[in-house]
A and B are shown apart, each in its own frame.
Chain A
Amino acid sequence: AQSVSQHNHHVILSEAASLELGCNYSYGGTVNLFWYVQYPGQHLQLLLKYFSGDPLVKGIKGFEAEFIKSKFSFNLRKPSVQWSDTAEYFCAVTTFSGGYNKLIFGAGTRLAVHP
């Protein structure tokens, strides 16, 4: 079965620090990859997505992610975090099987940024 692993469950950073959140998936076929963010009290929002093409994907709010097929990874990065980046981040994968796509989420990483 497909699965998504997020290595860091809880990350604490100071403002201006660099961020990298790990995400690995297990599926040998074609995948679409996503990073979602959930700010406190708000609903899930899409940060960025990879469908095909350039494996380095740029998203909103200065986030980017790199798809490395050989490593089954899609790590999220931001060079300099802000206090407003405090949120929970979910990596997700869609797989094409059974006639439709479904999103499989990782367990999430809770990021706390201190001023």
Chain B
Amino acid sequence: GAVVSQHPSRVICKSGTSVKIECRSLDFQATTMFWYRQFPKKSLMLMATSNEGSKATYEQGVEKDKFLINHASLTLSTLTVTSAHPEDSSFYICSARRPGTGNGADEQFFGPGTRLTVL
């Protein structure tokens, strides 16, 4: 299957600082990437859809000024958590959509996740 990487895998930061998380599709070009947040023992909640060359589309309730997304190339999307607070501590997962056969039969490949802890 396709490979998606995330960096860093784990980050601890002080309250008020900003943290950048990278998501890369290693063996395919992804015009669309997604950012999810996973709370302990809960499902993945879609935060935003990142489209190469255009602004991200945020889900309802997600602050776009707090979670900055940049999809600078067909293989890289970044999520920056600005002015992080302890409540932002979570597991952040990205995925990249690999286009299918044109009938909508595409699927997403997930990165390993980034554990953010804000002190």
Residues of A near any B CB (own CB < 8 A): 30, 32, 34, 36, 42-46, 49, 51-52, 90, 94, 96, 98, 100-108, 110
Contacts A102-B46, A102-B49, A104-B46 hold; do A46 and B1 have CB atoms under 8 A apart?
yes
Give Cα distance in the complex from A52 to B105, angstroms: 9
Give Cα distance in the complex from A43 to B95, angstroms: 11
Residues of B within 8 Å of A110, CB to CB, are 41
Give Cα distance in the complex from A108 to B40, angstroms: 12
Are A44 and B107 in touch, CB under 8 angstroms?
Answer: no
**Cβ-based interface call for B61 (8 A):** no
Give Cα distance in the complex from A104 to B45, angstroms: 8
List of 6 A-B pairs having minimum Cβ-Cβ separation, nearest first: A43-B112, A44-B110, A51-B105, A105-B43, A107-B43, A105-B44
Are A101 and B97 in touch, CB under 8 angstroms?
Answer: yes
Sampled A-B contacts (5; CB under 8 Å): A30-B104, A49-B107, A102-B46, A103-B44, A103-B95
B11-46, CB under 8 A of A: which get 1 and which 0?
A: 000000000000000000000101000000111111
Task: Give how many B residues have a beta carbon under 8 Å from the other chain's beta carbons.
Answer: 27
Contacts A90-B44, A108-B42, A108-B43 hold; do A103 and B108 have CB atoms under 8 A apart?
yes
Are A96 and B42 in touch, CB under 8 angstroms?
Answer: no
**Cβ-based interface call for B63 (8 A):** no
Residues of B within 8 Å of A104, CB to CB, are 46
Residues of B near any A CB (own CB < 8 A): 1, 32, 34, 41-46, 49, 51, 57, 93, 95, 97, 100, 103-113
Q: Which of B34, B103, B108 has the most CB of A within 10 A?
A: B108
- A43 is contacted by which of B105, B107, B110 (Cβ under 8 Å)? B110
Residues of B within 8 Å of A96, CB to CB, are 104
Residues of B within 8 Å of A101, CB to CB, are 97, 104, 106
Give Cα distance in the complex from A94 to B32, angstroms: 14
Residues of B within 8 Å of A32, CB to CB, are 104-105, 107
Are B111 and A43 in touch, CB under 8 angstroms?
Answer: yes
